[in-house]
Amino acid sequence: MLVHSRAARWAVRILFLLLFLPLFVLPLLVIVAASLSSSWSGVLPSGPTGAHYTAAVRGDALTALTTSLITAVTASLLALAAGTWAALAASGAGRRTRRLLDALFMLPVAVPSVVVGLAVLVAFSKPPLLLNGTPSIVIVAHTVLVTAFAYQSVAAALARLDPAYEQAAAGLGARPAYVLWRVRLPLLLPSLTAAAGLCFALSMGELSATMMLYPPDWLPLPVRIFSATDRGSLFTGSAVAVVLMGTTLLVLLAVSRLRTRATFR
Amino acid sequence: MTAAMSETAPATAGTRPAGIHLDRVSVAYGKHTVLDGLDLTVAPGELMALLGPSGSGKTTALRAVAGFVRPVSGRVYLGGRDVTALPPHRRGIGMVVQSYALFPHMRVAENVAFGLRARKTPRRDIAERVAEALEMTGMAAYARRYPRELSGGQQQRVAIARALAIRPSVLLLDEPLSALDARLRSGMLAELARLHRELADVSILYVTHDQIEALTLADRIAVMDNARLQDCGTPQELYRRPRTEFTASFVGNANLLPVTLAETGPDGTVGADLGGTRLRAHGAGAPAARGAAATLCVRPHLVGLGPGPNALRGTVAEVQWRGATHRLLVDVAGTRLTADVRELRTPPALGAQVELHFAAEDAVLLPVTSAPEAVPGGGGRG
C-alpha cells in the first residue's frame, strides 16, 4: 500500500507484468508450445501433435521419471532426517559448535555442484565403499547437495520455537525423547514439510552433479532431457521437460496441502 | 521413631506433602550474579509470593526450583529430598508460565493429559484425572477445543489444569496473571485463592511484580531486589512493619522521611526529629543509636489532615481527586509527603498551609539504606 492513487497502482502492476512475464512465464510457455508441435520455423510453432507426449510417458522416458522420483524421494527423506538431526543437535550445542555446523552445511551449497559430483565419484569409486556404478551413488550425491537446505530451514524454525513449550513439557515430567517426539517435532512439522518439498524439487531438477556419476541403468529425467536436446530432438526434450515440471509441481502441491493441515498458528 | 524414619526416608511423590527449601542458592551467568545466596522455605500448603521488580532474581529463583537453571552454589530441596542435580522432568512439579505455553497442536484435554501420559499413568486413570482437573478450573466444557480457540483467561485456566493434573506437591506460578486484562485478573485472583484453599498440601511459589496479587494471595511474601532476598514475612507484617526502605516502598505506597533519632519515650515510642519537628514512632525494630540518621515510614492513608499527634505543617503542592479519596502532596521541611484522605468537600488550595498528623503506632523507623546497594552481588558464599 505504498502507492495510493489508482492510476499509479495500475502503472505499477503493468510494469510488474512487463518484467515478470518475459522472464518467468514466457520461457515455460514456450516449452509447452514446443512440446506440442512438430516444427518451429516461423514466429509460432506449427504442426500440432501429441506424439512427443506419447513418447514421454512410456518406455525409457517413463523409466527415467520413476528413476527421478525414487532418487528425489529417497534423497529428500535422507536429507530431511540428517538435516533435522543436525539442526536439533546444533540448537542444543554451544554457539561455537553451532557456527561450525552452519558453515559445514553451507559447504555443498557454496561449492559448485559439478565439484560435489566429482568429489562423490572419486570418494566412492574404491573399496571399501564402492558405490560407483550403482544407483545409490546418485542418491548419495543428491542427499549431500540438498541436506544443506533441510538443515537451514529446520535450524531457522528451531530458532523461532519458543523454549517455553519444551520447558513446560519437561516440567510436566516428560523425558527429553518424549518432548522431542510429542512437542518439538509436531511444532516443527510445517517447516519439516516445507524443507522436504524444497529438497524434493531441487533433487528432481539436479543435472550437473548427476552428469558426473550416473550409472547407465539409472538415468534421471534431467539427464534424459539433456541428452535428447543434445541430439537435436528439441521437441521430444520439451515434452519430457513438461512432464518433469508437472510431476514436481504436483508433488509440491500435495506437500503444501499437508503443510496447511499441519499449521496451527 | 516413626517421625525419625520419615525424616530420612526418600520422599515418594504423592504420599507425603512436600515443601520447598532453598539453601543459600546462588545462580550466575558468567560473572553476572542473578541470584545471590537465597534462603527460602515454603511449607506444605503454603503460598509464598516472590515479589520484586524485573531483574530482581525472582524468576531465576523459580527456575532454580523447576530445574531449568543450575545453581553455582547452594542446594534445592523438594519434600526434604535434595533435587539440585535432578533434571526438570524428574522433580515432579507443576508449573504455569506467563505465556501459558499450551501445546497448540493438542486439544485442551490432550494438553491436560500430557503430564499423565508422559508419566505413563494407566489409561483409565488419565480420563478421570483430566476431568477432575478441568472441573476444578471450570474448563470441563472446553475439553475438545484447541488452545487457539480459547480466550486468554480460558488458556490460563487450562494451563493451571494441566499443572494440577499430575497432582504435584509443588506448584510454581510465574507471573500467571500478567498477560490478562485488569478485569479478568481480579476474577482469576479470586479463583487462585480458592484453588490454594482446596490444595491443602501443595506448596505454591508465586512469582509476581504486582504487590496487589502478592498481598491478596500470599500466606507469606518474599521481597526480592538486586538478586537478593530483602525481606520475608506475612503480608500484614510487611505492610505494617516493613524492615527495609525497599520493602516499605515496594509493598504498598510509603512516605519515607529522613529523620534523626532522639530519646525513647516512657510509652515505648521512639522520638525522631524531622527538620525541627519532634515526631514519635513505634519503637519495635528501630535502630538503637541516639542521634543516628533513620528513615521514618508512614503509609499515605494513615496520614490525616488537621491537628493531632505528630503534627506537621506544610505547603500543599498538589491536590488529586481520586473519587473516594483526595491525594494531597504536601511539602514538609524539604520533603514531599503524600496523604490519602477521605474525599474533602472543600479541598485545600494549592500553596495553602495545612497541618497533617499521624499516630505514632502507624509510623515505623527503618535503617537508612546507603545509596544503591553498597556491594552488589558481593556474596560468593558456599
Interface test with B, best of A161, A166, A172 (most B CBs within 10 A): A172
| pLDDT tens for each residue of A25-47 | 888 888 888 888 777 777 777 77
**What average pLDDT does this structure show over B142-163?**
91
| Cell numbers for A216 | 547407465
How far apart, in whole angstroms, are the C-alpha atoms of residue A200 and residue A215?
21
* pLDDT value, residue A4: 77
pLDDT of residue A259: 64
Q: Are A236 and A227 in contact (CB under 8 A)?
A: no
Nearest to B118 among A178, A186, A187 (CB): A178
d(CA B40, CA B232): 9
The phi, psi pair for A232, rounded to 5°, reads 100, -5
Q: Is the peptide bond before A128 cis (omega within 30 degrees of 0)?
A: yes
In the DSSP assignment, the letter for residue A9 is H
CB contact set of A206 (below 8 Å; sequence gap of 6+)? A113, A142, A145, A220, A222
Q: Are B27 and B69 in contact (CB under 8 A)?
A: yes
Question: If residue B325 lies in a helix (H) or strand (E), which one and from where to where?
Answer: strand B325-332
The Cα–Cα gap between B162 and B115 comes to 7
Secondary structure of residue A196 in the 3-state scheme: helix
Output DSSP code: residue B303. -
The closest of A98, A96, A94 to A106, measured between CA atoms, is A98
Q: Nearest Cα to A239, choosing from A67, A62, A69?
A: A62
pLDDT score of B320 more than 50: yes
**Which strands, in side-by-side order, build the sheet including B255-264?**
B277-281, B270-274, B255-264, B293-298, B364-366
Q: Is-contact B47 B196, C-beta < 8 A?
A: yes
The 3-class SS string of B327-343 reads EEEEEECCEEEEEEEEC
The model's pLDDT over B50-65, given as tens digits with 9 standing for 90+, comes to 999 988 999 999 999 9
Q: Which residues of A touch B (CB under 8 A)?
A: 162, 164-165, 167-176, 178-179, 182-183, 186-187, 189, 264-265
Residue B280 pLDDT level (bands cut at 50, 70, 90):
confident
Count of residues making up chain B: 382
Could you say which of B91, B101, B146 has the minimum Cβ distance to residue A164?
Answer: B101
**Residue whose C-alpha cell is 490519602:** B340
State percent of chain A over pLDDT 70.
Answer: 95
| Partner-chain residue, chosen from B88, B105, B146, that has the shortest CB–CB distance to A171 | B88
CB B55 within 8 A of CB B61: no
CB pairs under 8 A between A and B: 75
Which of B70, B91, B105, B170 to mutate against chain A (most A CBs within 10 Å)? B105
pLDDT the model gives residue B381: 33
Q: Which amino acid is at B278?
A: R
B255-264 vs B203-208, strand pairing mode = unpaired
Q: Which residues in chain A have their CB less than 8 angstroms from residue B103's CB?
A: 165, 168-169, 183, 186-187
- Looking at residue B288, its pLDDT comes to 63
How does pLDDT run across A109-118, given as a tens digit for each residue? 888 888 888 8
Q: Find chain B residues with C-beta within 8 A of A176's C-beta.
A: 89
Q: Is the pLDDT of residue B183 over 90?
A: no
Chain B: give the shortest CA distance to residue A169, in Å.
7
What's the gap between Cα A223 and its chain centre?
16
pLDDT at residue B380 greater than cutoff 70: no
Q: How many CA atoms lie within 13 A of B100 on its CB side?
A: 25
What's the CA gap between B103 and A264, in Å, rounded? 10
Asked if B157 and B137 count as a contact pair (C-beta separation under 8 A), the reply is: yes
Q: What is the DSSP letter of B308?
A: -
Helices (H), ranges, A95-174:
95-110, 113-123, 135-160, 163-171
At B314, which helix (H) or strand (E)? Answer: strand B312-321
- Give the max Cα distance, chain B: 76
pLDDT digits (tens, 9 = 90+) for B117-138: 998 889 889 999 999 999 888 8
Above pLDDT 90, what percent of chain B? 44
User: Lowest-confidence range among A123-132, A147-156, B33-42, B73-82?
Assistant: A123-132
Distance CA A184, CA A173 (A): 15
Lookup: cell for A197: 518439498
B30 touches chain A (CB under 8 A): no
Residue A91 clears pLDDT 90, i.e. is over it? no
List alpha helices for chain B, DSSP H.
Answer: 2-8, 58-66, 108-118, 123-136, 152-165, 182-198, 211-217, 235-240, 245-250
Distance linking the first and last C-alpha atoms of chain A: 25
Of the pLDDT bands very low, low, confident and very high (cuts 50, 70, 90), residue A263 is low
Q: What letter does residue B282 receive in the DSSP assignment?
A: B
Looking at the predicted structure, is the pLDDT value of residue B287 above 70?
A: no
**For residue A75, what pLDDT is reported?**
93
B90 and chain A in contact, CB less than 8 A: yes
- Asked if residue B15 has pLDDT above 50, the reply is no
Write the ipTM: 0.75
